[in-house]
Amino acid sequence: MRILVLGGDGYLGWPTALHLSRRGHDVGVVDNQVRRHYDLEMGVDSLVPIARLQRRVQCWEEVAGRTLGLYIGDLTDPAFVSSTLADARPEAIVHFAEQRSAPYSMIDRAHAVYTQVNNVVGTLNLLYAIADQDPSIHLVKLGSMGEYGTPNIDIEEGFIEIHHRGRTDTLPYPKSPGSFYHLSKVHDSHNIHFACKIWGLRSTDLNQGVVYGQQTEETALHPDLATRFDYDGVFGTVLNRFVIQAVVGHPLTVYGKGNQTRGMLDIRDTLACIELALLNPPAEGEYRVFNQFTESFSVNQMADMVAKVVPGEHRIDHLTDPRVELEDHYYRAAHTKLLDLGLVPHLLDDDLITSLAQVVERYRDRVIDAAIRPTVEWRRTQSTVSAPARAS
Ligand code: NAD
Ligand code: USQ
């Protein structure tokens, strides 16, 4: 298949591009490298050093003997999106290319506006280019489990049957997200659903949970193929952060009571889910939603697991939650559609935490301690309104 991976320089996009290329697909990587710019803005860096994008592509050719197409540009530029599709003529597009940090989107007005414009406009440009050039392209779009929030009822996969005053309909599951970033995903979902309805496009919206892990079969082949590993309070995600904190002797930063429960998955399962979605495309005009996670854990459970497995004594701190979220809630979310397509999950176990801790050991000198604690407050108090979100 000819596949474009948008956001192919990122944490998930890069390993996905390699995985699909190794499976024999003809892969093009699209990215404006803005993720590297956020590092400069925040004064932080990936714990594991990552090679320049051009070097990554060259290294893959040396190691695997396969070429990757490279398109450097911004999805908010419609001319770039259009010329990229015209040149690559993809049969499928995997779209990771968004600003993906909830805290980053909550820094201030400018970051909220940037996040929503970047994400919503980029996706709209893409929908128009697909509709104009080839409506049969399968768009695999990364959404988020956080689009649903934490309702007091079971979460379904995208749609729910509602009985109301004697009538019944199947409607998009109600969304109640917890950040301007997560809201951008909801806006995308509505726009994609609408485009499928009016133009007959086909799309899979993958409502993915929080990803953990750093190595995949392909990225482990050479240091220049490594993907990024974030631990800072803005871009680091919860389990990855806890492992790094435990290895460097920083108290584990549980926000609030720690009973917040989230759907989680191993980075290797992200790759497998994308591949399954690509190999089993929806029908023309179909908009479908898969909940892409394999297990759910509370923040406390993850902190306890990490503290048990990583050698040494560990302190678990309960910080005042910088976010506005329920710290105690019901959580049961359906996630059968990818399993039905054949997903065999890598479940979280001691070995995974140990291997992640070994990666951290190798690069522990690169950890900037000041970047670990959360700096972005959801609530707008006088002290946070002008506070910079930088690491130091
Ligand atoms: P990332 O920030 O590492 O990668 C995103 C990439 O997209 C970056 O390389 C960035 O430069 C690029 N990009 C952003 N805006 C762009 C634009 N306008 N034009 C071109 N390129 C642009 O993020 P990630 O962790 O790899 O996440 C990828 C996707 O998966 C995101 O959409 C995210 O919302 C979703 N997701 C991630 C997680 C997770 O835990 N990491 C969980 C659920 C969903
Ligand atoms: N948390 C802590 N301590 C920390 C970091 C996080 O207690 O040090 C808590 C948060 O309060 C939250 C949960 O852990 O309740 C998850 O936070 P996170 O930062 O790991 O993940 P989140 O902000 O939800 O965002 C990440 C990705 C995003 C993706 C989302 C999937 O950055 O791109 O969309 O996971 S989901 O959560 O399913 O929406």
Look at residue 381 in the predicted model and tell me its pLDDT: 76
- So what's the pLDDT on residue 392? 41
Element (H, E) at 152: none
Q: Are strands 261-266 and 295-298 parallel, antiparallel or unpaired?
A: antiparallel
pLDDT at 382: 64
User: Is residue 208 lining ligand 1, measured as CB closer than 6 Å?
Assistant: yes
Listed in sequence order, the DSSP H helices in 229-280 are 238-248, 267-279
Contact residues of ligand 2, CB 6 A cut-off: 100-102, 144-146, 182, 208-210, 237-238, 241, 253-255, 260, 262-263, 299, 323, 325
| 3-state SS assignment for residue 378 | coil
Separation of alpha carbons 266 and 282, rounded Å: 25
Degrees to nearest 5, angle at CA 195 with 190 and 198: 120
Q: Average pLDDT by consecutive 10-residue portion of the chain (392 residues)?
A: 98 98 98 98 97 98 98 98 98 99 98 98 99 98 98 98 98 98 98 98 98 98 98 98 98 98 98 98 98 98 98 98 98 98 98 98 97 96 54 44
- Which H/E stretch holds residue 287? strand 287-292
User: Tokens standing for 10?
Assistant: 């990122």
Q: Are 325 and 151 in contact (CB under 8 A)?
A: no
CA–CA separation, 102 and 104 (whole Å)? 6
Measured distance CA(35)–CA(7) in Å, rounded: 9
Domain ranges of the chain: 2-371
pTM equals: 0.97
* Ligand 2 pocket mutation, candidates 290, 299, 320, criterion most atoms within 8 A of CB: 299
* 147 close to 185: Cβ distance less than 8 angstroms: yes
From the candidate CATH numbers 3.40.50.2300, 3.40.50.720, 2.40.420.20, 2.40.30.170, the one assigned to the domain spanning 2-371: 3.40.50.720
Q: Is the CB of 210 under 6 A from ligand 1?
A: yes
**Contacts for 151 with CB less than 8 Å, ≥ 6 apart:** 174, 176, 330
Helices 180-199 and 122-133, packing angle to 10 deg: 20
How far does residue 146's CA lie from ligand 2's centre (Å)?
A: 9
Binding site membership of 33 for ligand 1 (Cβ less than 6 Å): yes
DSSP three-state, residue 106: coil
Q: Catalogue the E-assigned strands of 136-225.
A: 138-144, 159-164, 167-172, 202-208, 210-212
3-state secondary structure of 277: helix
Q: Is the Cβ atom of 338 under 6 angstroms away from ligand 1? A: no
* Contact call for residues 326 and 289 (beta carbons, < 8 A): no
Pocket lining: 211 vs ligand 1, CB cutoff 6 Å = yes
Task: Return the pLDDT at 383.
Answer: 54
pLDDT score for 250: 98
* Burial (Cβ within 10 Å: 0-12, 13-18, ≥19) of residue 221: middle
Distance between CA 127 and CA 131 in Å, rounded?
Answer: 6
β-pairing, 92-95 vs 2-6, is parallel
Tell me, what's the pLDDT at 40? 97
* Distance in Å, CA 119 to ligand 1 centroid: 10
The helix/strand count (H/E) of the chain reads as 14, 14
